């Protein structure tokens, strides 16, 4: 069993279902499958193979989801980099992870190949969206990602997470939180963080619920986003919940009428 097979519950099993909203655009699971297939074909042509590392330094976007799915299909190890990191932290991760390439739209000084995500999307358009699943030979103990620690108590360290690690985590959450395709997930957390990737993205793909991804949490617009999308699930961190306390009481009551589950993680939530 590997992540590709679990994601196929939605990418294939719910192909015609609208699964993702981002910046006003809506994508079916089938469209996301085809987009990531094209990118997987392109990355394969560029020489990436099972076990290679690919670093990604991007804000939340459909392209970042495409890249992650393409990595899973290829058996390439996904290595996201915190978008707040600068030269010293980025250089450490690039030296430590030894990736084949870095995907970013930011200026980064490095000797390894740097690929622009928008250029990759345009290049990938020339390839067929036909099935690309070389991951059938990967078992659950195969590394799927290297997620770097925050480095608050020392040098940031790469935590190797396998297909089994990610799968067990998501299956437990789906079961305990009773997440189904009837849910609506509002995801504002950064995909470079394991909270958004391991909990948000994986639970979305395995359950087949509808997700709205936003580039970043902006407290000025947050109330309207909640009222417009009407989510049932929201994953956040304590700083976000402190901001939500500023909502007007009437707005908060309306949001509470359709919300099913608020999750706080990554740090202790003050009483």
What is the arithmetic mean of pLDDT over 16-21? 98
Domain ranges (residues) in the chain? 3-162
What is the arithmetic mean of pLDDT over 200-210? 98
What is the arithmetic mean of pLDDT over 185-213? 97
Query: Are 95 and 119 within 8 A, CB to CB?
Result: no
**pLDDT value of position 240:** 95
With a cut of 90, say whether residue 31 has pLDDT above it. yes
Q: Which CATH architecture has domain 3-162?
A: 3-Layer(aba) Sandwich (3.40)
> pTM above the 0.85 mark?
yes
pLDDT digits (tens, 9 = 90+) for 148-173: 998 777 788 999 999 999 999 999 99
pLDDT digits (tens, 9 = 90+) for 222-261: 999 999 999 999 999 999 999 999 999 999 999 999 999 9
With a cut of 80, say whether residue 219 has pLDDT above it. yes
With a cut of 70, say whether residue 136 has pLDDT above it. no
């Amino acid at each position: 069993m590997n992540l590709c097979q679990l994601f196929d519950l939605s990418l294939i099993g719910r192909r015609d279902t609208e699964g993702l909203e981002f910046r006003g655009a809506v994508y079916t699971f089938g469209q996301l499958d085809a987009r990531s297939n094209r990118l997987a074909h392109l990355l394969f042509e560029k020489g990436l193979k099972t076990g290679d590392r690919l670093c990604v330094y991007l804000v939340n976007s459909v392209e970042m989801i495409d890249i992650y799915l393409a990595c899973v299909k290829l058996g390439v190890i996904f290595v996201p980099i915190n978008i707040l990191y600068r030269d010293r932290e980025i250089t450490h991760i690039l030296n430590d992870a030894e990736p084949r390439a870095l995907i970013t739209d930011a200026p980064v000084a490095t000797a390894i190949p740097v690929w622009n995500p928008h250029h990759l999307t345009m290049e990938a358009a020339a390839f067929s969206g036909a099935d690309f699943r070389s991951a059938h030979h990967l078992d659950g103990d195969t590394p799927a990602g290297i997620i770097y620690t925050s480095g608050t108590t020392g040098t940031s360290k790469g935590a190797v997470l396998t297909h089994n690690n990610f799968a067990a985590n998501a299956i437990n959450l789906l079961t305990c939180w009773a997440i189904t395709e009837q849910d609506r997930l509002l995801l504002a957390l950064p995909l470079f963080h394991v909270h958004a990737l391991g909990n948000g993205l994986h639970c979305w793909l395995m359950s087949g619920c509808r997700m709205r991804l936003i580039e970043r949490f902006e407290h000025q617009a947050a109330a309207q986003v909640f009222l417009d999308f009407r989510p049932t699930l929201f994953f956040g961190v304590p700083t976000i919940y402190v901001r939500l306390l500023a909502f007007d009481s009437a707005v908060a009551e309306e949001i509470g009428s359709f919300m099913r589950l608020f999750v706080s993680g990554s740090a202790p939530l003050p009483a």
